[in-house]
């Protein structure tokens, strides 16, 4: 028996079985995945990377390119779920890999599929804790670096690989991990997810074909190299599934099609918009002279684009999101696609000043304590302010069914009806139908 960390991790993937509670959470995750995927999948909203990707890496008769396609498209809107301890987007990588392999291999056991997804989310949360606090802060994109390992773990469980094959697959996934946050605000960010899903599929395929690789020591090396002296390897195995990571802290489902690092700022702006109405302010463009947004040091690391030129960049702009929320009281999907930004919103966004609050703990040390405090300076001399914390935002319920219904409404009725017939995912037939719709 291999007692290395890699060996123990491979073994634990097959040790625990989820219950109906976890499977219910997984079904909700699948719905959110579809809500985030379908608008770009069916070209209901513009995207500037999809066609180039498909022209270069045709998914026809290629399971790895199919995983790449699904990984890219499901993250293209940056509307997909987030996991706090993973500090990234697990489902886009895990489900894209699982759907591609399910379709290619003709495996349609719905309960086993959901269990593999749950295992993947568990692995994602564990990897996020084990890698420590410096990984993301050093400029790495966790969805791209940790995602291949989490998705490989799910696929190994799904395909019931041997322990030795699982260890080799995990090592192959680890050695392919890459992805820089510097690409945020471009089509390369969702490409990270596609590459991660493809890496997972490649790793599993090679392991199944008995490709030789190191069975031990690779995960240990991965954590050491990419942990930057903050890694906690013991977190990879400690208290596995007690509770399951898909339950606690759980998947966070986005209510807005923008970077999660902008959401509490948007919600603070929504409150201030209402206060402006109560004060008789009807035109924010003329009434607001200046806007300050404060946050813990480093909390604007992801939303770091101050002057976006299109909606893709605007997803990562605190300034633009705040302006949109103040003017419109919502963050509409059509404002955050590959189309140019609204000039009027950009003019208001230019009045936003970032003011880090150095009395707060650094975001890298405790991202759960993140907040955004927005202060409006009005032309009549009044100042109004409101603060919303990340914990408040995360605790607010997201209606995934409604989110999916909005996405389905963008599709031709006959297509929407086909997807609607698969949504409970409570039978093998439904899994087969859904995989066919996504992969054919």
Q: b/e for 54-82, b at 16 or more Cβ within 10 A?
A: beebebeebbbbbbbbbbbbbbbbbbbbb
Specify burial of residue 339 (Cβ count, 10 A radius: 0-12, 13-18, 19+).
middle
- Tell me whether the omega of the peptide bond preceding residue 243 falls within 30 degrees of 0, making it cis: yes
Q: How many CA atoms lie within 13 A of 28 on its CB side?
A: 20
| Pair 377, 383: CB distance under 8 Å | yes
**DSSP string for residues in 290-324:** EEEEEESTTTTSSSB-SS-SBHHHHTTBHHHHHHH
pLDDT at residue number 366: 87
Dihedral Cα 78, 82, 87, 92, nearest 10 deg: -60
**pLDDT at residue number 365:** 86
> Sign of the C-alpha dihedral, residues 64, 192, 107, 57?
negative
Q: What is the bridge-based pairing of β-strands 352-356 and 288-295?
A: parallel
Q: Pick from 236, 175, 235: which is nearest to 203 by CA?
A: 175
Residue 168: how many CB atoms within 10 A of its CB?
27
Burial class (CB in 10 A: 0-12, 13-18, 19+), 128: buried
Q: Which pLDDT tens digits describe the chain residue by residue (440 residues)?
A: 688 999 999 999 999 999 999 999 999 999 999 999 999 999 999 999 999 999 999 999 899 999 999 999 999 999 999 999 999 999 999 999 999 999 999 999 999 999 999 999 999 999 999 999 999 999 999 999 999 999 999 999 999 999 999 999 999 999 999 999 999 999 999 999 999 999 999 999 999 999 999 999 999 999 999 999 999 999 999 999 999 999 999 999 999 999 999 999 999 999 999 999 999 998 999 999 999 999 999 999 999 999 999 999 999 999 999 999 999 999 999 999 999 999 999 999 999 999 999 999 999 888 889 999 999 999 999 999 999 999 999 999 999 999 999 999 999 999 999 999 999 999 999 999 999 999 98
Give pLDDT, residue 282: 86
8 Å CB contact between 72 and 188: no
- Tell me how far apart the alpha carbons of residues 47 and 82 are, in angstroms, rounded to a whole number: 21
Q: With b meaning 16 or more CB within 10 Å and e meaning fewer, what string describes 172-195?
A: bbbbbbebebeebbbbbbbbbbbb
Of 200, 28, 32, 23, the closest CA to residue 112 belongs to 23
Q: Which residues contact 246 (CB under 8 A, 6 or more apart)?
A: 18, 22, 25, 26, 29, 118, 121, 122
Beta-strand runs (E) in 328-432: 352-356, 371-378, 383-389
């Amino acid at each position: 028996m291999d007692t290395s960390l890699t060996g123990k991790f491979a073994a634990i993937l097959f040790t625990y079985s989820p219950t109906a509670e976890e499977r219910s959470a997984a079904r909700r995750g699948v719905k959110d995945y579809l809500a985030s995927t379908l608008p770009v999948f069916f070209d209901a909203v513009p995207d500037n990377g999809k066609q180039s990707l498909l022209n270069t890496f045709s998914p026809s008769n290629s399971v790895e390119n199919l995983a790449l396609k699904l990984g890219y498209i499901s993250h293209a809107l940056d509307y997909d779920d987030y996991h706090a301890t993973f500090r990234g987007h697990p489902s886009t990588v895990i489900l894209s890999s699982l759907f591609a392999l399910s379709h290619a291999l003709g495996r349609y056991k719905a309960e086993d599929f959901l269990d593999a997804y749950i295992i993947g989310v568990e692995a994602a949360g564990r990897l996020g804790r084990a890698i420590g606090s410096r990984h993301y802060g050093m400029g790495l994109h966790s969805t791209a670096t940790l995602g291949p390992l989490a998705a490989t773990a799910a696929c190994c469980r799904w395909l019931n690989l041997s322990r030795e094959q699982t260890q080799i697959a995990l090592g192959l996934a680890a050695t392919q991990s890459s992805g820089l946050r510097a690409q945020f605000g471009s089509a390369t960010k969702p490409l990270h997810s596609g590459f991660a899903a493809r890496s997972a599929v490649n790793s599993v395929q090679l392991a199944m074909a008995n490709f030789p690789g190191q069975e031990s020591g690779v995960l240990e090396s991965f954590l050491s190299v990419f942990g930057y002296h903050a890694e906690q390897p013991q977190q990879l195995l400690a208290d596995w599934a007690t509770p399951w990571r898909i339950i606690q802290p759980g998947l966070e489902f986005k209510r807005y099609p923008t970077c999660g690092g902008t959401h509490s700022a948007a919600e603070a702006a929504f409150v201030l918009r209402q206060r402006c109405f109560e004060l008789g302010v009807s035109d924010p463009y003329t009434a607001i002279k200046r806007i300050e947004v404060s946050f813990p040091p480093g909390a604007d690391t992801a939303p770091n684009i101050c002057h976006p030129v299109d909606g893709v960049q605007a997803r990562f702009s605190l300034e633009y999101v705040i302006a949109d929320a103040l003017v419109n009281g919502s963050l509409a999907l059509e404002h955050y696609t590959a189309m140019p930004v609204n000039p009027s919103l950009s003019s208001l966004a230019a009045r936003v000043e970032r003011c880090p609050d150095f009395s707060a703990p650094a975001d890298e040390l405790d991202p759960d304590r993140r907040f955004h405090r927005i202060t409006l300076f009005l032309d009549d001399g009044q100042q109004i302010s409101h603060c919303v914390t990340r914990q408040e935002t995360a605790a607010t319920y997201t209606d995934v069914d409604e989110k999916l219904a909005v996405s389905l409404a963008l599709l031709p009725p006959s297509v929407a009806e086909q997807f609607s017939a698969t949504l409970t995912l409570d039978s093998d037939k439904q899994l087969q139908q859904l995989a066919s719709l996504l992969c054919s």
